Structure 1
């Protein structure tokens, strides 16, 4: 896949990309300009042009870096827990408690991927990597005999991620939505049913 990423800037470039993400979360894709990022990041417009070339390339690279970080964060949660059920709970909690800026950037990423071929390819890759730790936990639990799946592991994983993504969109749109805590109780109860776990009580001390 071709890439917009360049070598110029080093550590300073990373800080600038953080500033791009902050502006993007506040102003959206269409209204993020070189001037906004220059003001937010304390860097000259000419420097931004050297780093990225175009406004679009700057924004898209920031979205690519930011989504890569989110995938890495999920992987860290997954690697820290050996029990498949508690690993799923940790992954759900990580997704439910993203910051407002994270949710906004994810929605801008999904919107932009509909119109940009390179970003669409990256979106498919990110989704596969984002999905992987959830799918691995479901599959491992089934192999160990911890779970008795009512549906195959792929379907269970897709249900879970679709519910989490839908909540992100609703929260960004400021629709009337349940609190993350209330949503968590319902989602984990449904997940327990699909995994064949006895009982629907979700212990409060499982929440992270």
Structure 2
């Protein structure tokens, strides 16, 4: 995954992965068959880990608003390497049918904890939705993806902290949340 993050889909070779992982090229070829299969498997493992991390955040927080803030913070604070892999995954999925199919499944799983928190907050009466739960979730995920692309491109703005403040303010408005002070990230 580190090689994929630094070299990209098109430029990752068996030799690079062999050197980084200390595994013989022949072993990689035997196990994966092709370079593309190796990269696709790396992307599958990476995206599965991302989804599992969001699910763990979701399970750890019972309050729907604090859960959304924690999920947002988890997404905002991916490492530079993780952001590059996500962009490579999205970009590669545009051209590869297998990755495109996987990306649709990943999106559904990635989206699920966000959508569940929005729906749960509405059901509990903690949220008064101004838009339907799916639209709110789509807005939030689109905003987070946009920031990832901006950061991968090394754009100076928006800063993650300012972006977070604006995003959470907008989310509070869409959810009808009265709490003026979202939980801050502590790590």
2:97 aligned with 1:117: yes
Identify the residue that residue 57 of structure 2 maps to in structure 1.
77
Displacement of 1:96 in angstroms is 0.3
The structure showing larger relative contact order (alpha-carbon pairs under 8 Å, at least 6 residues apart) is: 2
Q: Tell me the distance in 1 between the aligned counterparts of 2:92 and 2:181.
A: 37
Q: How does 1:98-137 map to 2 (within 5 A)?
A: 98-137=78-117
Displacement, 1:122? Answer: 0.4
2:181 aligns to what? 202
- More divergent stretch after superposition (141-150 vs 178-187): 178-187
Q: 1:190 aligns with which of 160, 163, 170?
A: 170
Structure 1 gaps of 5+ residues are: 1-20
How much does 1:180 deviate? Answer: 1.4
Counterpart-to-counterpart distance in 2, 1:75 and 1:108:
23
TM-score (norm 2): 0.97
* Residues 84-138 of structure 1: CA deviation (Å, up to 9, x unaligned): 0000000000000000000000000001101111110000000000000000000
Deviation at 1:139, TM superposition (A): 0.2
Name the residue aligned to 1:162: 142
In the alignment, structure 2 segments of 5+ residues that lack a partner are: none
Aligned mates of 1:143, 1:124 — CA distance in 2: 27
Structure 2 partner of 1:8: none
Report the RMSD for the aligned CA atoms in angstroms.
Answer: 1.0
Q: Distance in 2 between matches of 1:66 and 1:187?
A: 26
Instruction: Report the Cα distance in structure 1 between the residues aligned to 2:122 and 2:142, rounded to whole angstroms.
Output: 21
How many residue pairs get aligned? The number is 186
- Normalised TM-score (structure 1): 0.87
* Residues 1:26 and 2:6 aligned together: yes
Offset at 1:173? 1.0
